[in-house]
């Protein structure tokens, strides 16, 4: 049976923490930042944690590179 491949799109967008959780970058942080308030931009600086069934799928897709 062939090896399972890492999903490259997911690999670029998510990281797995030491405790095994899936971490993602906040949305709305890429461009058009001039009209967003500093308070809003500070809030977007933190990475989010994915939970539920989506996290399980992401971690499974990243398993070969771990």
Question: Residue 6's closest CA among 59, 61, 66?
Answer: 61
d(CA 61, CA 29): 25
| pLDDT tens profile 36-62 | 999 999 999 999 999 899 999 999 999
d(CA 13, CA 10): 5
18 secondary structure, DSSP code: T
Whether 27 maps to a domain, the answer reads: yes
Whether 1 maps to a domain, the answer reads: no
Angle (CA) 61-43-8 rounded to 5° is 20
What range defines the domain where residue 25 resides? 8-65
Whether 41 maps to a domain, the answer reads: yes
Domain count, the chain: 1
Q: CATH number of the domain at 13, please.
A: 4.10.410.60
| pLDDT tens profile 9-26 | 999 999 999 999 999 999
Give the pTM.
Answer: 0.76
Whether 3 maps to a domain, the answer reads: no
Contact 21, 50 (CB under 8 A): yes
Whether 42 maps to a domain, the answer reads: yes
């Amino acid at each position: 049976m062939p090896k399972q491949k890492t999903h490259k799109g997911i690999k670029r967008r998510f990281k797995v923490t030491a405790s095994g959780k899936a971490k993602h970058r906040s949305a709305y942080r890429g461009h058009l930042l001039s009209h967003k308030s500093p308070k809003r931009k500070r809030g977007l600086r933190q990475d989010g944690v994915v939970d539920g069934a989506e996290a399980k799928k992401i971690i499974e897709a990243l398993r070969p590179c771990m």
